[in-house]
Amino acid sequence: MIPWTGLGLYNGYRGSRWIQNRIKIFEQFVLPSLLAQTNRDFIVWCAWRYEEKNNKIVQDFRERLNKVKELKFVHSWFGVPFYDDKYSDEEAKLRLINSLHNSMGTLVNAMGECDNVIMTIQPSDDLYFLEAVEGIQRFFKNNLMAQAVGFERGYICNYSTKEMAEYNPKTNPPFVSIKFPRDIFIDPFKHCEFTAIKYDCGKYKKGTPCPSHEYYSAVFHMNYHTFKGRGFCVGVHGENISTSWNIPYKGELVDSETLGQFGIADVLPLKIKFGWKKFYWKLSWKIQRKLRYWFSEKLSGLF
């Protein structure tokens, strides 16, 4: 499940230049990685806000994806199936339920008959290592009581230079797979209950649908597991909202052979329109983060 637009401030859309760059990043880096998976028995669910049904940039992208015969793509136009804490609790729950309810008709037809559904979070600019799908499916087959599994550590890659380093986050990363019984996955209310926090967590009360990846252990308890190896790669390209190459979680640099583990060894360095990028990369991580916030959130309406 790729959350494209519809989440966060400005309804998850930061202008035409932003979506063009994000699509370019997906086609140049993420798509080759998905195609290189050792197990391609999965559906790529692209979740968009309703406005993208008439967005020529997105529709042209959709047509190109339809030509990729090795993968099955499904598009929904009702926002992303996440609880969005940018809204009040009542409105966030309603948006989530509406998104799930309206998306399920398309998904049910694509899924066909099955006992369980494994939903893996796939950011539109990040990667999984080549045996991720195979390993996730095998894990749930061998651990019948498990409800969710995530990767504990990964790598970070500067797409502009193709430098790669270890990535050691202090909180639970967003690279998570959840196993739903089919009847729960397709029912919006049961779906929300299944992914709800099971006890009060700070400002979030018991019963709140999971507000972010940091709370999955509060949702699934003993049925949440982690893979200890480095299974994901965070892509950095200058337009990330909260991640930069100089983030404190970055560890030691690794050799270029590691790029091959994610299917991007032969991909060329990224080139996107981002005028002040060279100056930007020289700034401290805290200043970079503040600039990204102002340019993407506060000033997005000007571009």
Q: How far is CA 47 from CA 79, 105, 123, 220, in A?
A: 6, 13, 11, 24
In a domain, 136, yes or no: yes
d(CA 245, CA 158): 6
Q: How far is CA 107 from the centre of its chain?
A: 18
pLDDT digits (tens, 9 = 90+) for 9-31: 667 788 899 899 999 999 999 99
In a domain, 102, yes or no: yes
Burial class of residue 191 in the structure, from the number of CB atoms within 10 Å of its CB (0-12 exposed, 13-18 middle, 19+ buried): buried
Here the tokens at position 87 are 């809204």
In a domain, 281, yes or no: no
In a domain, 285, yes or no: no
Please say whether the beta carbons of 5 and 19 come within 8 A: yes
In a domain, 239, yes or no: no
pLDDT digits (tens, 9 = 90+) for 225-275: 999 899 999 999 876 556 678 888 999 999 999 999 999 999 999 998 754
We report the CATH number of the domain holding residue 116 as 3.90.550
> pTM score, two decimals?
0.88
In a domain, 268, yes or no: no
Residue with tokens 């991580």: 285
In a domain, 266, yes or no: no
Q: How many domains are there within the chain? A: 1
* Residue 207 structural domain: 2-153+166-230
pLDDT digits (tens, 9 = 90+) for 168-204: 999 889 999 999 999 999 999 999 999 999 999 989 9
